[in-house]
Protein backbone atom coordinates (compact mmCIF):
# COMPACT_ATOMS: atom_id res chain seq x y z
CA UNK A 1 0.00 0.00 0.00
CA UNK A 2 2.87 2.35 0.88
CA UNK A 3 4.53 1.61 -2.48
CA UNK A 4 1.28 2.41 -4.32
CA UNK A 5 0.81 5.67 -2.40
CA UNK A 6 4.41 6.64 -3.10
CA UNK A 7 3.98 5.94 -6.81
CA UNK A 8 0.80 7.99 -6.95
CA UNK A 9 2.54 10.87 -5.15
CA UNK A 10 5.45 10.84 -7.64
CA UNK A 11 3.02 10.69 -10.57
CA UNK A 12 1.04 13.65 -9.24
CA UNK A 13 4.24 15.68 -8.84
CA UNK A 14 5.20 14.85 -12.42
CA UNK A 15 1.77 15.93 -13.66
CA UNK A 16 1.98 19.20 -11.74
CA UNK A 17 5.44 19.76 -13.22
CA UNK A 18 4.13 19.19 -16.74
CA UNK A 19 1.25 21.59 -16.15
CA UNK A 20 3.62 24.19 -14.76
CA UNK A 21 5.97 23.82 -17.73
CA UNK A 22 3.05 24.03 -20.16
CA UNK A 23 1.73 27.13 -18.41
CA UNK A 24 5.16 28.78 -18.45
CA UNK A 25 5.58 28.02 -22.16
CA UNK A 26 2.17 29.50 -22.87
CA UNK A 27 3.08 32.68 -21.01
CA UNK A 28 6.33 32.99 -22.96
CA UNK A 29 4.50 32.55 -26.26
CA UNK A 30 2.09 35.35 -25.39
CA UNK A 31 4.73 37.98 -24.71
CA UNK A 32 4.39 40.92 -27.12
CA UNK A 33 7.06 41.60 -29.72
CA UNK A 34 8.35 45.17 -29.62
CA UNK A 35 8.70 46.26 -33.25
CA UNK A 36 10.01 49.69 -32.32
CA UNK A 37 12.81 49.94 -29.77
CA UNK A 38 12.62 53.72 -29.39
CA UNK A 39 16.14 54.16 -30.78
CA UNK A 40 16.33 53.19 -34.45
CA UNK A 41 14.63 51.33 -37.31
CA UNK A 42 16.49 48.05 -36.81
CA UNK A 43 13.31 45.93 -37.27
CA UNK A 44 12.25 47.81 -40.39
CA UNK A 45 13.08 48.47 -44.04
CA UNK A 46 12.38 51.82 -45.69
CA UNK A 47 10.79 51.17 -49.08
CA UNK A 48 10.90 53.54 -52.06
CA UNK A 49 12.68 56.41 -50.30
CA UNK A 50 10.05 56.84 -47.61
CA UNK A 51 10.78 59.78 -45.31
CA UNK A 52 11.01 57.94 -41.99
CA UNK A 53 13.47 58.66 -39.17
CA UNK A 54 13.76 58.32 -35.39
CA UNK A 55 14.02 61.36 -33.13
CA UNK A 56 13.48 61.67 -29.39
CA UNK A 57 12.05 58.16 -29.05
CA UNK A 58 9.47 58.39 -31.85
CA UNK A 59 9.31 57.44 -35.52
CA UNK A 60 8.78 60.60 -37.54
CA UNK A 61 7.06 60.57 -40.93
CA UNK A 62 8.14 63.70 -42.77
CA UNK A 63 5.69 63.78 -45.67
CA UNK A 64 6.93 61.97 -48.78
CA UNK A 65 5.66 58.66 -50.15
CA UNK A 66 7.00 55.08 -49.99
CA UNK A 67 6.45 53.08 -46.81
CA UNK A 68 8.11 51.55 -43.77
CA UNK A 69 7.98 47.74 -43.87
CA UNK A 70 8.54 45.31 -40.99
CA UNK A 71 11.38 42.92 -41.72
CA UNK A 72 9.33 39.99 -40.41
CA UNK A 73 5.94 38.73 -41.49
CA UNK A 74 3.07 37.91 -39.13
CA UNK A 75 -0.14 35.89 -39.31
CA UNK A 76 -2.58 36.02 -36.36
CA UNK A 77 -1.86 38.80 -33.87
CA UNK A 78 -2.95 41.94 -32.07
CA UNK A 79 -1.04 45.01 -33.28
CA UNK A 80 -0.97 47.95 -30.86
CA UNK A 81 0.28 51.23 -32.28
CA UNK A 82 0.31 54.74 -30.83
CA UNK A 83 0.44 57.64 -33.28
CA UNK A 84 -0.49 61.27 -33.68
CA UNK A 85 -1.12 63.71 -36.50
CA UNK A 86 1.08 66.80 -36.42
CA UNK A 87 -1.17 68.82 -38.70
CA UNK A 88 -4.84 68.88 -39.62
CA UNK A 89 -5.84 66.23 -42.20
CA UNK A 90 -2.36 64.64 -42.14
CA UNK A 91 -2.44 61.44 -44.16
CA UNK A 92 -0.84 58.00 -43.73
CA UNK A 93 -1.99 54.38 -43.43
CA UNK A 94 -1.17 51.17 -41.59
CA UNK A 95 -0.51 48.11 -43.74
CA UNK A 96 -1.33 44.65 -42.37
CA UNK A 97 -0.87 41.20 -43.91
CA UNK A 98 0.83 42.95 -46.80
CA UNK A 99 3.37 41.55 -49.25
CA UNK A 100 6.68 43.23 -50.06
CA UNK A 101 6.79 46.06 -52.59
CA UNK A 102 7.12 45.14 -56.26
CA UNK A 103 7.97 48.76 -57.16
CA UNK A 104 5.21 49.00 -59.76
CA UNK A 105 3.42 51.89 -58.04
CA UNK A 106 4.82 55.33 -58.81
CA UNK A 107 4.61 56.18 -55.11
CA UNK A 108 6.33 52.94 -54.13
CA UNK A 109 3.42 51.38 -52.29
CA UNK A 110 2.85 47.61 -51.94
CA UNK A 111 0.36 46.06 -54.34
CA UNK A 112 -1.00 43.14 -52.32
CA UNK A 113 -2.26 43.79 -48.82
CA UNK A 114 -4.68 45.64 -46.59
CA UNK A 115 -4.55 49.18 -45.26
CA UNK A 116 -6.13 50.72 -42.18
CA UNK A 117 -6.65 54.37 -42.99
CA UNK A 118 -4.64 56.76 -40.83
CA UNK A 119 -5.82 60.14 -42.04
CA UNK A 120 -7.03 62.90 -39.76
CA UNK A 121 -10.56 62.98 -41.14
CA UNK A 122 -14.09 61.84 -40.35
CA UNK A 123 -15.19 62.12 -43.98
CA UNK A 124 -14.69 60.08 -47.15
CA UNK A 125 -12.34 57.18 -46.46
CA UNK A 126 -12.19 58.08 -42.80
CA UNK A 127 -9.81 57.31 -39.97
CA UNK A 128 -9.79 53.57 -39.04
CA UNK A 129 -11.61 52.53 -42.22
CA UNK A 130 -10.14 49.51 -44.04
CA UNK A 131 -9.04 49.35 -47.68
CA UNK A 132 -8.08 46.30 -49.77
CA UNK A 133 -4.73 47.50 -51.08
CA UNK A 134 -4.38 45.24 -54.09
CA UNK A 135 -5.54 42.22 -52.07
CA UNK A 136 -8.82 40.38 -52.73
CA UNK A 137 -11.95 42.29 -51.62
CA UNK A 138 -13.64 41.58 -48.30
CA UNK A 139 -16.85 42.32 -46.43
CA UNK A 140 -16.50 45.46 -44.35
CA UNK A 141 -18.47 47.00 -41.47
CA UNK A 142 -17.59 50.57 -40.49
CA UNK A 143 -19.17 52.56 -37.63
CA UNK A 144 -18.92 56.32 -38.21
CA UNK A 145 -20.72 57.18 -34.96
CA UNK A 146 -18.20 55.09 -33.00
CA UNK A 147 -15.38 56.89 -34.82
CA UNK A 148 -16.80 60.26 -33.77
CA UNK A 149 -16.72 59.11 -30.14
CA UNK A 150 -13.15 57.78 -30.40
CA UNK A 151 -11.68 60.66 -32.39
CA UNK A 152 -9.13 63.07 -30.91
CA UNK A 153 -7.93 66.32 -32.53
CA UNK A 154 -4.58 66.43 -34.30
CA UNK A 155 -1.67 66.74 -31.89
CA UNK A 156 -3.14 64.21 -29.45
CA UNK A 157 -2.03 60.57 -29.31
CA UNK A 158 -4.28 57.89 -30.81
CA UNK A 159 -4.05 54.15 -30.16
CA UNK A 160 -4.84 51.55 -32.79
CA UNK A 161 -5.51 47.97 -31.71
CA UNK A 162 -5.69 45.89 -34.88
CA UNK A 163 -6.58 42.23 -34.45
CA UNK A 164 -5.89 39.79 -37.29
CA UNK A 165 -7.30 36.34 -36.70
CA UNK A 166 -8.02 33.91 -39.50
CA UNK A 167 -10.14 35.64 -42.12
CA UNK A 168 -11.18 38.51 -39.83
CA UNK A 169 -9.53 41.87 -39.17
CA UNK A 170 -10.87 44.19 -36.47
CA UNK A 171 -9.79 47.77 -35.81
CA UNK A 172 -10.18 49.53 -32.47
CA UNK A 173 -9.37 53.23 -32.13
CA UNK A 174 -8.81 54.39 -28.56
CA UNK A 175 -10.51 51.22 -27.20
CA UNK A 176 -13.62 51.56 -29.41
CA UNK A 177 -14.36 49.11 -32.26
CA UNK A 178 -14.60 51.07 -35.52
CA UNK A 179 -14.13 48.57 -38.36
CA UNK A 180 -14.46 44.85 -38.92
CA UNK A 181 -13.50 43.08 -42.14
CA UNK A 182 -14.32 39.45 -42.88
CA UNK A 183 -13.41 37.01 -45.68
CA UNK A 184 -9.81 38.22 -45.62
CA UNK A 185 -7.77 36.06 -48.00
CA UNK A 186 -4.20 37.10 -47.19
CA UNK A 187 -3.44 35.16 -44.00
CA UNK A 188 0.03 36.56 -43.34
CA UNK A 189 2.31 39.37 -44.42
CA UNK A 190 4.28 42.43 -43.35
CA UNK A 191 3.17 45.28 -41.10
CA UNK A 192 3.88 48.73 -42.45
CA UNK A 193 3.40 52.48 -42.26
CA UNK A 194 2.49 54.39 -45.40
CA UNK A 195 3.99 57.71 -46.37
CA UNK A 196 1.30 59.83 -48.02
CA UNK A 197 2.55 63.40 -47.73
CA UNK A 198 1.55 63.71 -44.06
CA UNK A 199 3.38 64.73 -40.90
CA UNK A 200 2.93 62.08 -38.18
CA UNK A 201 4.72 60.51 -35.23
CA UNK A 202 4.60 56.91 -34.01
CA UNK A 203 5.87 55.55 -30.72
CA UNK A 204 4.65 52.24 -29.22
CA UNK A 205 4.45 49.52 -31.89
CA UNK A 206 4.03 45.99 -30.59
CA UNK A 207 2.68 42.68 -31.87
CA UNK A 208 1.09 40.07 -29.63
CA UNK A 209 0.98 36.73 -31.53
CA UNK A 210 -2.26 34.79 -31.17
Give residue-wise pLDDT tens across range 46-61.
999 999 999 999 999 9
What is the reported pLDDT for 133?
A: 87
Q: Tell whether the model's pLDDT for residue 20 goes beyond 60.
A: no
Give residue-wise pLDDT tens across range 26-48.
445 689 999 999 999 999 999 99
Instruction: Tell me the pLDDT of the chain averaged across its residues.
Output: 89
Cα–Cα distance between 173 and 19 in angstroms, integer?
37
CB 67, CB 47: distance < 8 Å: yes
Q: Tell whether the model's pLDDT for residue 4 goes beyond 60.
A: no
What's the CATH superfamily of 33-209? Answer: Exo-inulinase; domain 1 (2.60.120.560)
What is the average pLDDT across 174-198? Answer: 97
Q: Where are the domains of the chain?
A: 1-31, 33-209
- Place 21 in a pLDDT band, splitting at 50, 70 and 90: very low
pTM reported for the whole predicted model: 0.85
What is the reported pLDDT for 140?
A: 96
| 172 Cβ neighbours under 8 A, 6+ residues apart | 160, 161, 162, 163, 178
What is the reported pLDDT for 29?
A: 63
Give residue-wise pLDDT tens across range 55-82.
999 999 999 999 999 999 999 999 999 9
Cα–Cα distance between 21 and 140 in angstroms, integer?
41
Closest C-alpha to 184, from 133, 109, 128, 118: 133
What is the average pLDDT across 115-119? Answer: 98
Amino acid sequence: MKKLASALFVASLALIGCQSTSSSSSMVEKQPIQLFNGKDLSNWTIESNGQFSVENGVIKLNRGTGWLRSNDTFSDYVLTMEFRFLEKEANSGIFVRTQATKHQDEKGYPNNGYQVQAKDTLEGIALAQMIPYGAPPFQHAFDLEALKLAYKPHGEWHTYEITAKGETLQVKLNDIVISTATHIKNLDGHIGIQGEFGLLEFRKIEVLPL
